[in-house]
Amino acid sequence: MPWTEFSPKALRSIDESTARLNIWHGAVRSSKTVSSMVRWIQYIDAAPPGDLLMIGKTERTLGRNILNPMQEILGQQRMHWNRGAGEVFIAGRRIYIVGANDERAEQKIRGLTIAGAYADEITLYPESFFVMLLSRLSVPGAKLFGTTNSDSSYHWLKENYLDREDLNLRQWHFELEDNLSLDPQFVDDLKREYVGLWYKRYILGLWVAAEGAIYDMFDIDKHEVDNLPVTEDGRPAIKRSWVLIDYGTTNPTVFLWLVQCADNCLYVADEWRWDSAERGRQKSDPEYSKDLRDFLQRIGHRPQWIFIDPSAASFIVQCSNDRIPNIAGADNSVLDGIRYTSSLLSANRLKFIKGKCEGTIKEMLGYVWDANAQKHGEDKPVKAHDHGPDCIRYGVNSSRLYWEPWLRKAA
């Protein structure tokens, strides 16, 4: 494990986490996970008889975030992870492994009598799972140890547990400075990569609500440019490009051309859209396929991939039947896409060609958080006039391999 020493807060959290519920929360990479793992390992040796449980959003993320690092600490002799069986043995004690990614997850732990549990990324669980988990911690002296990054101030974990004073609960709020092992250059890079809402949550570790404009850093004077950069012989300095598609039937269908140029900036360089409500006619999948082929001919550059929202299954099949090359389902993770797009805009690495994508620019200016959803602790955009911004987050998410390495070098 890449640490050199524990901060006083980390040591205190390990010593004082003796309540029924013990939760480490705050900034990313702040040593809260390492501290909680050390305490969990201690607890396994001393826990009362009964089932032990480890939980992540999925078994895969639990393995990546917790089990793999724990194996580095303990070694193969003290820890055996039986991946196929959903269980791990630590110091000779069997621990069940569970993913809690949707409302059905609580069924996985019904009937268990649990003597101890470790919960990674708690805010990503359905509340119903957490409620069931607490009811299963019924062995005398049973304890829960959990971690999470900060989230909305309206999140169920914050309102129903962390903010209450009547529970047998101890909590520790961690900041980046609590991790004494981080390289200063990495900390500096990390602070530049997170902006706006995510800087407050993931760097400062604050529990804050998402509200107002999503891309409040978007500035037409700064982000709109006349043309793509060119080479010495006057040709567009394109390194690679992608076509991004947000597909709709009653809603608009939008194609965007996203270009990475030699200056390591991304450019939204062209747009096509069909609004069936405005035009008074819906188009069929074969018609949209023809429109896509015409759009590809218009841009005159073969894209590396054509990223389509994976929910548009019928259109993806139609494109495949028409032998349109390089079709791929986009990574449509909403919050990750918004966060990465915000970082690119803040670093002035995402730009828009003037006169080529006016519909998308208009939607970027009106892309706002859903205030009603926020009251329930859910972060999501208002589902209206969002088709261009949705395309952009598909493209930004799906092309991260190519732009993420140089984002850290952005001024």
Per-residue pLDDT of the chain (411 residues; tens, 9 = 90+): 455 589 999 999 999 999 999 999 999 999 999 999 999 999 999 999 999 999 999 999 999 999 999 988 888 888 988 877 889 999 889 999 999 999 999 999 999 999 999 999 999 999 999 999 999 999 999 999 999 999 999 999 999 999 999 999 999 999 988 999 888 888 888 888 888 899 999 999 999 998 899 999 999 999 999 999 999 998 999 999 999 999 998 889 999 999 999 998 999 999 999 998 888 899 999 999 999 999 999 999 999 999 999 999 999 999 999 999 999 999 999 999 999 999 999 999 999 999 999 999 999 999 999 999 988 888 999 998 899 999 999 999 999 998 888 765 543
> What is residue 48's DSSP assignment?
P
Q: Looking at the domain assignment, is residue 314 inside a domain?
A: yes
Of the residues 153, 181, 209, which one is the last residue of a structural domain? 181
E strands along 228-276, which residues? 238-246, 253-261, 266-274
Of the residues 151, 181, 211, which one is the last residue of a structural domain? 181
For 259-292, how does the pLDDT look when each residue is reduced to its tens digit (9 = 90+)? 999 998 999 999 999 998 888 899 999 999 999 9
Q: Looking at the domain assignment, is residue 129 inside a domain?
A: yes
Q: Characterise 386 by phi-psi region: left (phi > 0), alpha (psi -120 to 50), beta (else).
A: alpha
Same domain, 267 and 382: yes
Q: Looking at the domain assignment, is residue 52 inside a domain?
A: yes
> Could you give phi then psi for residue 284, rounded to 5 degrees?
-90, 165
Alpha helices in 47-145 (DSSP H): 59-62, 68-78, 127-136
For the chain, the first-to-last Cα distance in angstroms comes to 31
Same domain, 21 and 111: yes
How big, in percent rounded to 5, are the helix, strand and coil portions of the chain?
40, 20, 35
E strands along 140-225, which residues? 143-149, 169-174, 224-225
Same domain, 248 and 176: no
Residue 103 sits in a domain whose CATH number is 3.40.50.300
Same domain, 267 and 175: no
Same domain, 161 and 269: no
Q: Looking at the domain assignment, is residue 204 inside a domain?
A: no
Q: Which residues contact 304 (CB under 8 A, 6 or more apart)?
A: 240, 241, 242, 326
In 3D space, the residue among 319, 302, 191, 164 whose CA is nearest the CA of residue 253 turns out to be 319
Same domain, 12 and 154: yes
Same domain, 226 and 174: no
Contact 37, 102 (CB under 8 A): no
| Residue given tokens 């390289």 in the structure block | 183
> Could you give phi then psi for residue 72, rounded to 5 degrees?
-65, -35
In 3D space, the residue among 351, 363, 364 whose CA is nearest the CA of residue 227 turns out to be 351
In 3D space, the residue among 187, 197, 107 whose CA is nearest the CA of residue 150 turns out to be 197
Radius of gyration in angstroms for the set of CA atoms belonging to the chain, rounded to a whole number: 24
Same domain, 161 and 248: no
Same domain, 284 and 147: no
For 120-175, how does the pLDDT look when each residue is reduced to its tens digit (9 = 90+)? 999 999 999 999 999 999 999 999 999 999 999 999 999 999 999 999 999 999 99
Overall size of the chain counted in residues: 411
Same domain, 284 and 159: no
Q: Looking at the domain assignment, is residue 2 inside a domain?
A: no
- Number of structural domains (the chain) is 2
> What is residue 304's DSSP assignment?
S
What pLDDT shows up at residue 1? 44
Buried b (16+ CB within 10 A) or exposed e, 187-206: eeebebbbbbbbbbbbbebb
Residue 245 sits in a domain whose CATH number is 3.30.420.280
- Cα–Cα distance measured from residue 310 to residue 179, given in angstroms and rounded to the nearest whole number: 39
- Cα–Cα distance measured from residue 324 to residue 167, given in angstroms and rounded to the nearest whole number: 59
Q: Looking at the domain assignment, is residue 200 inside a domain?
A: no
pTM for the structure as a whole: 0.79
Q: Looking at the domain assignment, is residue 202 inside a domain?
A: no
Q: Which two tokens stand for residue 149?
A: 């990054």
In 3D space, the residue among 248, 198, 241 whose CA is nearest the CA of residue 395 turns out to be 241
- Cα–Cα distance measured from residue 261 to residue 255, given in angstroms and rounded to the nearest whole number: 19
Structural domain range at position 123: 8-181
Of the residues 134, 160, 181, which one is the last residue of a structural domain? 181
Contact 351, 265 (CB under 8 A): yes
Give ∠ CA 284-287-291 in degrees, rounded to 5: 135
Q: Which two tokens stand for residue 372?
A: 């009603």
Q: Which residues contact 308 (CB under 8 A, 6 or more apart)?
A: 245, 247, 315, 316, 319, 327, 328, 329, 330, 394
Same domain, 146 and 229: no
Q: Half-sphere exposure of 185 toward its Cβ, with a 13 Å CA cutoff? A: 2
Q: Looking at the domain assignment, is residue 194 inside a domain?
A: no
Same domain, 170 and 232: no
In 3D space, the residue among 252, 244, 245 whose CA is nearest the CA of residue 281 turns out to be 252
